[in-house]
Amino acid sequence: MVCQKCNFQNEENTKFCKNCGTELTNNSKKNMRNGFGITGFVISLISIFAFSAFTDNSNENAPPLIGVIVFAAMGVIFSCLGFLQKNKAKWQAISGLTISGVILITTIIGRCLDLF
Ligand SMILES: [Zn+2]
């Protein structure tokens, strides 16, 4: 944590600056880990693999369509929960929502158009 007064680099979770003694305010809340967001992001990455395996006709172990939809839907749900967390990093949730949303829509539209 950087001291706002003297810019001394203190260890994280230190209450007072080791250099000048100024009380350190916690302004790094936005960087707090967002468990739901990270989970949503990871699931959305899994859904990419599931989707690419599903659309690969030469893959005999391809997952069923419902598997792709379940992973993508879970990615959307967890990412939304992550996005709703207050004072936490949002980039994983936003990335996860984008990725899993695109895969979910692509899968459903592709299914409706009989592409798969
Ligand atoms: Zn200081």
Could you give the CA distance from residue 22 to residue 16 in angstroms, rounded to a whole number?
Answer: 5
| Cα 24 to averaged position of ligand 1 atoms, centre (Å) | 8
Compute how many other C-beta atoms are within 10 angstroms of the C-beta atom of residue 107. 24
| Cα 13 to averaged position of ligand 1 atoms, centre (Å) | 14
Beta bridge partners of 71: none
What are 52-62's pLDDT values in tens digits? 988 887 777 77
Count of domains for the chain: 2
Which of the pair, 37 or 55, is modelled with greater confidence?
Answer: 37
| Cα 75 to averaged position of ligand 1 atoms, centre (Å) | 42
Q: Which domain holds residue 40?
A: 32-112
Domain co-membership, 54 together with 98: yes
The pTM (predicted TM-score) of the whole model is: 0.69
From the list 37, 42, 104, the residue with the least C-alpha distance to 68 is 104
Domain co-membership, 20 together with 46: no
User: Are the C-beta atoms of residues 108 and 69 closer than 8 Å to each other?
Assistant: yes
